Amino acid sequence: MCAAEVRSLPEGVQRVAKALQDSGHPHAPVMLGDAARTAQQAADQLGIAVGQIAKSIIFRRKSDDAAVLVITSGDRRVDEKKVAALVGQGAGLGRADADFVKSRTGYSIGGVSPIAHVQPPVTLIDRELFRFDEIWAAAGHPHGVFKLRPQDLERLTGAPVADVVQQQAGI
């Protein structure tokens, strides 16, 4: 992606593109024709399984008001108790509203990238993402996504991989 192409992208996507380029990541952000505010919408547009979408969920840690980012597989639901046990510092987690998400990450809900936040969050990666060779994540805008492998997500975020999702029925 050339400099002129990057400058034509929304600001959040520009930040993600720069972070990916600076890290040597081989895939630049792609802008989809329609918004992909949900994992299902993104998967439908990309023609992939919903589990291949790395969705970014932001919580608010009550003890210090820190942003906690959980990057989870699109077909799984985060177990807040598991996350709180890993990063809660005793006070637990709360819901993060749109203003909190925007001020801490620089992104609006529906386009939160797992990288290039304005304030680095406490981050956990869902181990369920490792079921796939290829995944896609938001690139800082509801229309922006980028391709990566779960191992790339570990490298790009420096975050640990953990069991952070609710038990699936029948498992």
Predicted model pTM: 0.92
Number of independent structural domains in the chain: 1
C-beta neighbour count of 140 within 10 angstroms: 30
Is 169 inside any structural domain?
no
Is 69 inside any structural domain?
yes
DSSP strands (E only) in the chain: 30-31, 53-61, 67-73, 93-95, 122-126, 135-138, 144-148, 161-162
- pLDDT band of residue 89 (cuts 50, 70, 90) is confident
Is 167 inside any structural domain?
no
Domain that holds residue 117: 3-162
Is 171 inside any structural domain?
no
Dump pLDDT digits (tens) for 116-153. 999 999 999 999 999 999 999 999 999 999 999 999 99
- pLDDT band of residue 168 (cuts 50, 70, 90) is confident
Is 98 inside any structural domain?
yes
Rounded Cα–Cα distance for residues 62 and 75 (Å): 27
Domain CATH for 62:
3.90.960.10
pLDDT of 5: 56
More confident position, 123 or 10: 123
Dump pLDDT digits (tens) for 20-64. 999 999 999 999 999 888 899 999 999 999 999 999 999 999 999
